[in-house]
């Protein structure tokens, strides 16, 4: 057998038939849905939202998710499902996605929204209930159909969420095949087949999935790794910052990619900030305890699957921390190094928050930049300050898609009622992490746009207006009697 033949991928014919059947049902349902009114599209979105927002459904899915994956905790997953869904519904009902969605009379442009078709949504084990519904709402807002390819670890939860969404669609007279789940078993081969068969792929989850989506030949939108560093400067309201950081870091046991992973505290208020964090429920680890955390949380260079997104009591026991740590909400680990040799400088997905001491704001900014270069470039940065201009400074200088000032980062980054960012569970990180978007995933990413173009009064500046400053630099003096080449058609 030649090496080329040996490298060919083979698929179980039954696996292909199962995926083909799902895709064909999605195409049939989407074809009938493609020409519905805005009112009908919004009715579908409301139905999907109600499928998870309903209190008993939210609790059922949260309980199932923790039982399935051992990640996070039930109370916070209930809040996440209801809050994200409510906020996303708010955003979606305020915008148009059918017919004319934008007009610019001065430019003679009218924009018409069109469906993309069938969407494949790859979803993670950290949010096996919330993420599928969030993506389904955006997809159907654009009059598309969606097929969810869940993490195998969270399959039962995702399948139940899809079942609930299908029932709600049927209740309002819509084809339930607008939302489907990839049949078990969910394998890489099956997911690859699905991605090749659809019109758009949306990936939230592992970077391996993001890369495979990009290589599928289908237009793909992926997200990047989170590793959020947050600066506390010398002007910050320390009590407010500590309460917000604690609430954000501990939410759903730090499953969110927007959870704080490092605090960079300016030296002038370092001790006071640590005390404020301790008052908010943090346990400050000794140097020996920090090294023990590092050895335990990482196994053979990878995060310990048994410790990520687990309760603080579980971590305290695993890290062999003293009795006083058993009542802590999260753990502070002081560090000075950044990079592969210092794993605490990376994303942890656990109730461990790395702390750096910076000489001043300029030094803090440099530390944050180094952390992002190591991991998380493109994602986001937080800042607690009373100097608004420092937020502008970070936004101008750092390679991130989002800079949040005085926020509980998890609750502001993915959309909030006091944040202008749209609600989402998928954060694009731009070309910094080889993502095609540098904003929060939203309904616009699920639309094709037709541009109607009409004639407008000619908008043709003089050559002097366009070239004049360059001519003056090079000493060129155009001959007034000799017309330069026209740029007319």
For tokens 């179980």, what's the residue?
Answer: 12
User: For residues 427 and 261, what is the distance between their CA atoms, to the nearest angstrom?
Assistant: 16
Burial of residue 487, with CB atoms counted within 10 A of its CB: 0-12 exposed, 13-18 middle, 19 or more buried: exposed
Structure tokens at 433: 């992490």
The count of other CB atoms within 10 Å of the CB of residue 305 is: 12
User: For residues 255 and 373, what is the distance between their CA atoms, to the nearest angstrom?
Assistant: 22
User: For residues 26 and 231, what is the distance between their CA atoms, to the nearest angstrom?
Assistant: 47
User: For residues 32 and 173, what is the distance between their CA atoms, to the nearest angstrom?
Assistant: 12
DSSP string computed for 248-307: HHHGGGG-STTSEEEEEEEGGGHHHHHHHHHHTTEEEPPHHHHHHHHHHHEETTEE-TTT
Closest Cα to residue 187, out of 152, 147, 146, 222? 152
Strands ordered across the beta sheet of 447-453 = 99-104, 109-115, 447-453
Helix (H, G, I), strand (E, B), or coil: what is residue 2? coil
Number of residues that this document lists for the chain: 489
Name the DSSP class of 419: B
User: For residues 186 and 210, what is the distance between their CA atoms, to the nearest angstrom?
Assistant: 16
Specify the pairing of strand 298-299 against strand 302-303. antiparallel
Structure tokens at 86: 């409510």
Active-site residue among 257, 285, 429, 487?
Answer: 257
For residue 120, CA distances in Å to 12, 332, 431 come to: 20, 39, 22
Closest Cα to residue 410, out of 389, 425, 397, 399? 425
Burial of residue 94, with CB atoms counted within 10 A of its CB: 0-12 exposed, 13-18 middle, 19 or more buried: exposed
User: For residues 152 and 205, what is the distance between their CA atoms, to the nearest angstrom?
Assistant: 12
Q: Are 275 and 312 in contact (CB under 8 A)?
A: no
Active-site residue flag, 257:
yes
Q: Are 181 and 135 in contact (CB under 8 A)?
A: no
Burial of residue 152, with CB atoms counted within 10 A of its CB: 0-12 exposed, 13-18 middle, 19 or more buried: middle
* Catalytic center residues: 257
């Amino acid at each position: 057998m030649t090496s080329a033949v040996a490298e060919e991928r083979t698929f179980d014919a039954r696996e292909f038939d199962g995926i083909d059947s799902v895709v064909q049902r999605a195409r049939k349902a989407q074809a009938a849905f493609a020409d519905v009114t805005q009112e009908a599209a919004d009715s579908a979105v409301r139905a999907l939202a109600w499928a998870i927002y309903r209190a008993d459904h939210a609790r059922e899915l949260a309980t199932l998710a923790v039982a399935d994956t051992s990640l996070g905790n039930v109370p916070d997953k209930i809040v996440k499902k209801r809050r994200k869904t409510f906020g996303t519904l708010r955003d979606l009902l305020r915008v148009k996605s059918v017919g004319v969605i934008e007009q610019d009379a001065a430019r003679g442009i009218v924009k018409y929204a069109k469906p993309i078709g069938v969407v494949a949504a790859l979803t993670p084990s950290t949010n096996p209930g919330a993420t599928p519904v969030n993506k389904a709402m955006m997809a159907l807002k654009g009059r598309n159909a969606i097929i969810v390819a869940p993490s195998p670890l969270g399959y039962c939860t995702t399948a139940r969420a899809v079942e609930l969404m299908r029932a709600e669609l049927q209740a309002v007279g819509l084809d339930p095949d607008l939302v489907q789940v990839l049949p078990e078993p969910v394998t890489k081969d099956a997911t690859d087949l699905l991605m090749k068969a659809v019109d758009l792929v949306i990936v939230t989850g592992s970077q391996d999935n993001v890369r495979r989506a990009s290589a599928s030949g289908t237009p793909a939108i992926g997200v990047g790794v989170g590793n959020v560093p947050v600066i506390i400067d010398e002007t910050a309201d320390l009590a407010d910052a500590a309460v917000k950081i604690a609430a954000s870091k501990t939410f759903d046991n730090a499953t969110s990619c927007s959870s704080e992973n490092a605090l960079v505290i300016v030296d002038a208020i370092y001790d006071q900030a640590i005390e404020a964090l301790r008052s908010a429920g943090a346990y400050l680890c000794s140097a020996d305890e920090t090294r023990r955390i590092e050895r335990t949380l990482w196994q053979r260079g990878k995060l310990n699957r048994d410790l990520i997104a687990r309760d603080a009591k579980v971590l305290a026991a695993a890290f062999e921390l003293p009795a006083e740590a058993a009542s802590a909400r999260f753990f502070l680990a002081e560090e000075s190094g950044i990079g592969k040799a210092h794993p605490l400088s990376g994303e942890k997905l656990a109730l461990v928050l790395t702390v750096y001491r910076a000489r001043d704001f300029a030094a803090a900014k440099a530390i944050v930049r180094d952390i992002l270069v190591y991991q998380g470039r493109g994602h986001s940065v937080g800042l607690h300050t009373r100097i608004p201009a420092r937020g502008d400074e970070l936004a101008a200088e750092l390679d991130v898609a989002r800079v949040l000032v005085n926020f509980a980062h998890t609750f502001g980054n993915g959309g909030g009622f006091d944040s202008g960012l749209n609600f989402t569970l998928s954060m694009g990180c731009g070309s910094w992490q080889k993502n095609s978007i540098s904003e929060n995933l939203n309904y616009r990413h699920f639309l094709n746009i037709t541009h109607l173009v009409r004639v407008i009064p000619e908008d043709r500046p003089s050559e002097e207006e366009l070239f004049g400053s360059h001519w003056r630099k090079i000493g060129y003096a155009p001959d007034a009697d000799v017309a330069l080449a026209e740029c007319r058609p």
